[in-house]
Amino acid sequence: GQNIDQPTEMTATEGAIVQINCTYQTSGFNGLFWYQQHAGEAPTFLSYNVLDGLEEKGRFSSFLSRSKGYSYLLLKELQMKDSASYLCAALDSNYQLIWGAGTKLIIKP
């Protein structure tokens, strides 16, 4: 079957760095997305990786290893507004998005 695994919850300190991991098993693979979802709001797009390696976008970076079925989202210089759920989603061979349950990130002062 198809499956996405990511931690349920993580806690980090303001100003620090946090890495949110995601492993995936899909029928074929056409890329991996990260979305941010604040409580009570809809998800917003953060990143898309289809090739191996690290993509940096400001304070956020996303990494992909296709051979390992693994990705991570790296958040630097954490701010209180980064408190949110982070959703990992993989695109399978039929271009269907398989969603993870999300990682709730709690930022403490």
Partner 1 sequence: GAVVSQHPSWVICKSGTSVKIECRSLDFQATTMFWYRQFPKQSLMLMATSNEGSKATYEQGVEKDKFLINHASLTLSTLTVTSAHPEDSSFYICSVKGGWETQYFGPGTRLLVL
Binding site for partner 1 (CB under 8 A): 30-31, 33, 35, 41-45, 48, 87, 91, 95-97, 99-102
Closer CB to partner 1, residue 33 or residue 72? 33
Question: Residue with structure tokens 């408190």?
Answer: 83
Residue 98 to residue 75: CA distance in whole angstroms: 23
The CB-of-65 to partner 1 minimum distance in angstroms stands at 20
The CB-of-80 to partner 1 minimum distance in angstroms stands at 21
The CB-of-42 to partner 1 minimum distance in angstroms stands at 4
- Under 8 Å between Cβ of 91 and 32: yes
Closer CB to partner 1, residue 12 or residue 90? 90
The CB-of-71 to partner 1 minimum distance in angstroms stands at 16
Q: What DSSP string describes 43-103?
A: -EEEEEE-SSEEEEETTEEEEEETTTTEEEEEE-S--GGG-EEEEEEEE-TTSPEEEP--E
